[in-house]
Amino acid sequence: MKKGVLLSLTVALAVFGAACQQPSTVNTNSAMNQNAVNRNSMNGNSMMNQNSSTMNDNSNMSGMMDMNSSPNAASQPYDLQFIDTMTHHHQGAVDMAKMVLTKSNNEELKKFAQKIIDDQNKEIAQMKDWREKWFAGKPAAMNMEMPGMKDSMKMMIGDGMKRMEATGGKEFDLMFLDMMTPHHAGATTMAKEALSKAEHQETKTLANQIIEAQEAEIKQMADWKAKWSK
């Protein structure tokens, strides 16, 4: 009898001990799982924030880096391609010229830059008016493959603008001439093609104006480059 009682008591204590330990194990596992979830959540949020930051950085650089043609641009009417492409090209010149107003100490170059800003903003406004009149509702048709466009915009794709921002004085002035000269050359190349391909006489008239004005400015910049490099 005593042996039977002792055996029963031993079994009962074992069962009771196991029952007491089970909630602790469950709680421990639950806490570990919760901590793992929290860590994963924190890591996920950190990665999302990091990706978001990267996206914002890329977004801020998109104005300089996005130099791809508009979808199906080459299939659009030539005048529309010229308007959208030259508008984009002119805006690049305006942005570059604005840097001169704040970074250069050369009053002659500042006056030159202000003329570029005034002339090309006026031409941008004119082209936008024509676009609304002739091609209202048409999708963007900026075509990087138009003759003169891609080569003259290389400085906008690379680190040219950043290097300009990091320089000053005479070095800045010479760098501006080195960047604006091929930019102007690209515009004249594009404009010369427009003389034979454009359908609207207004486009051809503008193309002639661009050629005349920017070839004269290219000559002026070459003279300054030779003079200021000494």
Q: Residue 144 pLDDT more than 70?
A: yes
CA 52 to chain centre: 16
Percent of the chain with pLDDT over 90: 63
**What letter does residue 67 receive in the DSSP assignment?**
-
Domain range summary for the chain, segments of one domain joined by +? 1-66, 70-228
* Average pLDDT over every residue of 216-223: 98
What CA–CA distances, in Å, run from 167 to 58, 102, 158? 24, 12, 16
Distances (CA, A) of 226 to 152, 171, 212: 21, 14, 22
d(CA 83, CA 142): 8
Greater pLDDT, 187 or 29: 187
- Superfamily covering domain 70-228: Ferritin, core subunit, four-helix bundle (1.20.1260.10)
Residue with tokens 């936008």: 128
Q: What is the pTM of this model?
A: 0.71
Q: Which tens digits make up the pLDDT trace of 22-37?
A: 444 334 444 444 444 4
Q: How far apart are CA 191 and CA 58, in angstroms?
A: 32
3-state secondary structure of 140: coil
d(CA 193, CA 32): 71
The pLDDT mean for the chain works out to 79
Residues 128, 154 contacting (CB under 8 angstroms): no
Report CA Rg, the chain: 34
